[in-house]
Amino acid sequence: MRSVHLYILSGCLMLFAGYVNAVENGDAILKKVDRNLQPESYEMYRKLVNVEPSGARKEFVLYTVKKGKDKMVALFLDPPSDKGRSTLRDGDNMWLYIPNVGKPLRITSLQSVVGGVFNNSDILRLDYHTEYHVVSMDSSGKEYLLILKANSKSVAYDTLKMWVDKKQLVPTRIEAFAASGLLIKTLHYSKIKDFGGGLVRPSVLTTDSPLYKGYESIMLFAKIKQRNFPDEVFTLNYLPRVESLR
Amino acid sequence: MRWRWSLCLTAVLIPLAQLQAQDLNFDLSSYARKTYQFNGFVELNLDHQVIAPDSYATRLLFLNSAVPNTVTEKSAAVELTGDFKHERWHAWATYHGEAYDSELASDQSGTFYEALLAYQPDPAMTLELGKKAIKWGKGYAWNPIGFVERPKNPDDPELAREGYVLASADLIKSYNGDLKTLAFTPVYLPVRSSVNSDYGLSGHDNVAFKLYALYKDTDFDLAYLSEGSRSHRFGLDFSKNLDTNFEIHGEWAYIDALTRQLVSSTGSIRSETTTASQWLLGLRYLTQNDTTIIAEYYRNGGGYTPEEMQSFFSAVDFATTTSNTTLLNALAVVGTKSYLVRNPGRDYLYLRLSNKEPFDWLYFTPAITLIANAQDKSYSLSPELLYTGYQNLELRFKATILQGDKYTEFGEKRNDQRYELRVRYYF
């Protein structure tokens, strides 16, 4: 009888060790995924395209700079109606600066300054491992499947299912869920491109959502380059002057 | 026949594929930073007002002319911003020109809203000299601590405003820890007969400053204005996100000496100087169906009570009954400066609901705005529809209905209803 108990106990321990190992590996993979997508501090140019079911589209061009774990600014370069607008993120805080309004307004991560499927947290996205931790990993398929849980309630999506290419260690697909289990949106990464400086990653991110049937939002990445900025760039007072960084 | 179909299909599919590929191109060279840049907008407006024939504002406005049933104003405006950057120097100017024509008047005007030279030795310091529209405070519709700016129009808070000629600096310091940012903004604003003459008393060198802190994820500002063209005043504001969809803000200002003009029911006019505190509490909330709610309560210390407003309107009655045209003219002047200005009362409620892209209508934003005088229960209600679906073009239709009893602020405005159509093209 004692030996049966021992078997069960060692089985449980092995399972637990396997779980811990998978989570540790998963966290390590997630960190690699983040570094393969972009350096920790960088400047980047992106185009956002919102496509309606009719085929009509609206485009936005953004210049983005990021520093460390959680400081980020995005400046609108196009269209002319939005030119000069900028959004700042410092941790969980987000602000929008509109030149005419002339002072930064606090915004929330679930709002969208561009309309369409992308919300503010998609546009000012931090590293995945900053906002999420791995709760399980399945490596049995062609790709790793990571289940990520938000580190706090202030993160826009409660849970992410992330499929990761085993060779490139970049995501191919991410499903974002609300705390209720509702699928909010699906992100598809595609078109691997060499951005220079050793950065080889997808250059297109397509997003669709069951909440916006027939609509699609696409993010095109044109330039991602490692660059360091002083902390003062990521402050409200600097928002009207972000253009001077280019 | 089959090869013809294949050919047709290929002829259709290849351009489609090319279009798709072309669409996914992103030519960065078009967005390279230029030394010079120009941008701006032109707009056309049509404004139709249904005049309230018996209101006191109408009676004072049309003292010497017949009261029309409606007034339709056609106007055009252009706003052009030029921008020049060279190393650490940055200069820009925004010119605003407009022309209007209605049954009552026609005119055109133009002025520089801003014209500024900035020097930035490093990202933590900026020095600026010229005309600038400074905007302080966290309130959406009102800003009690907006000490060095022209007042905002709560009916359209996002409109650009003309600045003042000033010298200012911006000093920023970032930290790790609960206190993340400290920023200090001193401002020097001279008032002479030819410079900033509408700011206040001439011959004064006014000094103001704002100290900003981001502490424990909350924005705080401390603002101060020295005694000079306006009385000494100081204030505070804060703003914080309580949740991913919920923001709260507040603002408070203390004014050392505020001069009010008071009119008795028999038309005697006198001035009174008092201390005043003005404050505001507000929130911004995003619902699950993407409706943004902005709500603010504004206490305009120094504003008129319903009894004081009624006294003024009674004086107009008295002057009309006694055919005292001298008094009517004097009341018209006092009214234009104080009783009939935008939001002269003491307590206000602002509520705006806007729903982004309801019913899957991409780029449509319907909204409704309520501005209510909380003491006399009069209000204006403005439903509007904004469409931004055409590239660089913005269409806005806005209707405003004003309601209130006799002797109330909105009940005695010059119009009952107003309909505005605005077409704005950005370039």
CB A49 within 8 A of CB A57: yes
Which helix (H) or strand (E) segment is B21 a member of? helix B2-23
**Mean pLDDT value of segment A3-27:** 63
Query: In the numeric block, which tokens belong to residue B190?
Result: 């001279």
Decide if A116 touches B, using CB distance below 8 A: yes
Query: Which three-class secondary structure state does DSSP give residue B169?
Result: strand
DSSP, res B345: B
Please give the Cα distance from B286 to A112 (Å, whole number).
11
For residue B320, give both structure tokens: 């009309």
Average pLDDT over residues A232-244: 92
Residue B2 has pLDDT above 50, yes or no: no
B170, B357, B426: residue with CB nearest A115: B357
CA distance linking residue B208 with residue B166, whole number of Å: 11
Per-residue pLDDT band at B5 (split at 50, 70, 90): very low
- Of the pLDDT bands very low, low, confident and very high (cuts 50, 70, 90), residue A122 is confident
Which residue did the predictor score with more confidence, A227 or A110?
A227
- Of B28, B183, B249, which is closest to A235 when you measure between CB atoms? B183
Query: Which chain A residue's Cα is nearest to B177?
Result: A91
Residue of A nearest to B85 (CA): A244
Task: Evaluate if residue B10 carries a pLDDT over 90.
Answer: no
- SS3 category, B183: strand
Which of residues 97 through 116 in chain B touch A, CB cutoff 8 A? none
pLDDT mean over B89-105: 95
Please check whether residue A233 is in contact with residue A67, taking contact to mean a CB–CB distance below 8 angstroms: yes
Residues of B numbered 348-377 whose beta carbons fall under 8 angstroms of chain A's beta carbons: which are they? 356-357, 360, 362-363
By C-alpha distance, the chain B residue nearest A94 is B241
Which residue type does B248 have? Answer: I
Query: Can you tell me the distance from the alpha carbon of B225 to that of B363, in angstroms, rounded to the nearest whole number?
Result: 42
CB of A144 within 8 Å of a chain B CB? The answer is no
- State the Cα–Cα distance between residues B211 and B224, nearest whole angstrom: 9
Residue of higher predicted confidence among B292 and A19: B292
Partner A contacted by B247 (CB < 8 A): yes
- Structure confidence by residue, pLDDT tens digits, B18-56: 334 445 678 888 888 888 889 999 999 999 999 999 899
Q: Are B206 and B191 in contact (CB under 8 A)?
A: yes
Q: Is A128 helix (H, G, I), strand (E, B) or coil?
A: helix
Residue B17 pLDDT more than 60?
no
Q: What is the pLDDT of residue B7?
A: 39
Q: Provide mean pLDDT across the span B117-124.
A: 94
What is the rounded distance in angstroms from the CA atom of residue B270 to the CA atom of residue B262? 5
Q: Which residues of A touch B363 (CB under 8 A)?
A: 58, 115
d(CA B363, CA B383): 17
Classify burial at B288, counting beta carbons within 10 Å of its beta carbon; exposed 0-12, middle 13-18, buried 19 or more. exposed
Q: Tokens at residue B11, please?
A: 């002829």
Strand A57-67 and strand B269-286: the pairing is unpaired
Q: Is the pLDDT of residue B14 over 70?
A: no
Q: In this structure, is the dihedral angle defined by the CA atoms of residues B302, B308, B309 and B313, taken in order, positive or negative?
A: negative
At A110 the pLDDT is 67
Instruction: Give per-residue pLDDT as tens, B359-368.
Output: 877 788 999 9
d(CA A246, nearest CA chain B) in Å:
6
- Mean pLDDT of the residues in chain A: 86
pLDDT tier for residue B77 given thresholds of 50, 70 and 90: very high
B198 touches A at CB < 8 Å: no
Nearest to A235 among B160, B174, B363 (CB): B174
Closest CA to B315 of B253, B268, B349, B380: B268
Structure tokens at B367: 């909204």
DSSP B102-113: -SS-EEEEEEEE
ipTM (interface predicted TM): 0.77
Per the CB < 8 Å rule, is A220 touching B126?
Answer: no
pLDDT tens figures, A111-121 = 777 766 777 77
Helix (H, G, I), strand (E, B) or coil at B20: helix
Vertex B157, ends B156 and B161: CA angle to 5°? 100
CB contact under 8 A, B362 and A103: no
Note the pLDDT tens digit of each residue in A124-167: 888 999 999 999 999 898 999 999 999 988 788 899 999 999 99
Average pLDDT over residues B146-155: 94
Count of C-beta atoms within a 10 Å radius of residue A1: 5
Q: Which of B137, B158, B173 sits opposite A98 (nearest CB)?
A: B158
Lowest-confidence segment of A80-84, A167-171, B117-121, B210-214 by average pLDDT: A80-84
Q: Is the pLDDT of residue B324 over 80?
A: yes
Average pLDDT in chain B: 91
What's the pLDDT at A57?
Answer: 81
Residues in B closer than 8 angstroms to A244, CB to CB, are 85, 90, 120
Burial state string for A62-79 with b = 16 or more CB within 10 A and e = fewer than 16: bbbbbbbebbbbbbbbbb
- Which has the closest alpha carbon to A42: A22, A18, A76, A65? A65
